[in-house]
Structure 1
Amino acid sequence: MKERPKTSTRLKVESFDQLLNNFKASYFAGALLVQRQMLIDDLAKFFNNSRWNGEDFMLMINRHVVTPEMFLYRLSELLPRFFGLKEIAFFRFHSSAAPAKYNLTKMFNLSGVFLPMGIGSKEHHCRRWLPIQLLKSLAQNKDSEQKSLPQIAAQRSRFINLNEEFFTISLAHGSRLNKATNLSGAMCFRINQPFKDTVKFWDDPAIPIMDVNESCERCGLSQALCSDRAAPAAIHQQAQKIKTREKVLDQLIRDLG
């Protein structure tokens, strides 16, 4: 694999082969750094707990001596094969301190459900989603030493207008390379029967349940119901206008018929 970037953050992508080889190298490096059987044993024990415990999750990461992102990435390789958790998704966000901007820098989605990533380049990611909430919390923390320590939380993310719910585990911390940047990663599990059978703490009452959407522009919640709104619901309003117009036309056709 000669054609691949030599830095952990790609400065530019010059070819598809370069991008593919970088993915292969990352996969191989993760397999070397996080020993498979040890992690499987740790996860089996962790999933068998009846209560969510973020400190125990951090202990797993520290035990394997890797970054939170690398740990979540390794989970995505093992969970489908060894735990039957195939409907998962991984996201990584970067945010600037001021003004607050949230950029999706990496993702893969095996869930079959559209997750709140913001389709258009000018759309605003749902601010209720856990990785965004943690980044907002980090931005408010002025202690640089505390910001370097990962924050961890769990959330049951319930999609508005969809009969879908996800269990989200997210970690966020300040960037070691750029003090003005914060990072967050999220592993999302579709709450289906295999997940309920495997993860005993899936319905822990201490885990907050949050209604989320794809982006602010696509969300019909009013400002009174969502204080986190970052942009008007332009796309949602346009869709509603089209539906109303179609309804009026259908009624007119029926009346004329």
Structure 2
Amino acid sequence: MSTRILQQIIPAIATSDGAGVKLRRSLGQTQALRVDPFLMLDEFSSENADDYIAGFPSHPHRGFETVTYMLDGHMLHEDHLGNKGDLKSGGAQWMTAGRGIIHSEMPQQESGRMRGFQLWVNLPAKEKMKPASYQDIQPDQIPRIALPNGGEVKVIAGSVDMDGKLIWGPIQGITTEPLFLDVRLPANGQFSQAFASELNAFVYPYEGQIEIGPIDKARQLESQSAGVLSSGDSIEIRTQDRSAAFLLLAGRPLHEPVVQYGPFVMNTREQIEQAMSDYKNGQLV
């Protein structure tokens, strides 16, 4: 087996989105900083309501999937088709925009901590125009696996191998075969996992510092930075004198051209122009 090492570090930068929600963006801050099939990763975290209260009013999407994973807080999702869904602490939503959706995500709290992530996952060309759909995931639907050293793994998508037994998350059957894990390790903890060598992968620590790779090739990764991993069929992650929490994400690359204009992600400029025209004329969906 070959162990993946830390190949590139992408520090998250402070920015805002929606109606002024303050966040930190690692993947997606430029169109060159992506990890196929992942287009963007945003982290939002604040106890100041002024940083999030304006939320994400109605806006369109076409051609990819959005994943919202809440650590703390409560947001309400609504769309033009009449769908509604609550995003609460520990839950997630996997939205396939497909040919088009116009939706909003608005805070349902006026104080307290709002913390979580939004991940954008590309769709293959053959699926970009399929109907929009949702998978709303409640906290109790996400497996929580205790690690021998006192840590914990939450499996949002894909699976982990624990002593020869596969533990599957609620998100399955997606072309890009995403793996989405939320891992928490105590001080001097360790996490190792095997996964398909053909998947692209990155790690995002959101609390503390971690060390990635075999001892002789280990590199440190600070919180609020995305660490892009090399090829390989396993990963080793350790903590030192402090605990840490991180996301581990992997997916099958599409190897297709990406043309993005704001909330539209297609394969050609002509398709982007069509998406803009459809939105303007009320024919996005």
TM-score range (shorter-chain normalised) is: under 0.3
- Larger strand proportion, structure 1 or 2? 2
TM-score, normalized by length of structure 1? 0.26
Q: Return the structure number with greater relative CO, CA threshold 8 A, min gap 6.
A: 2
- Larger helix proportion, structure 1 or 2? 1
Give 1 or 2 for the bigger CA radius of gyration: 1
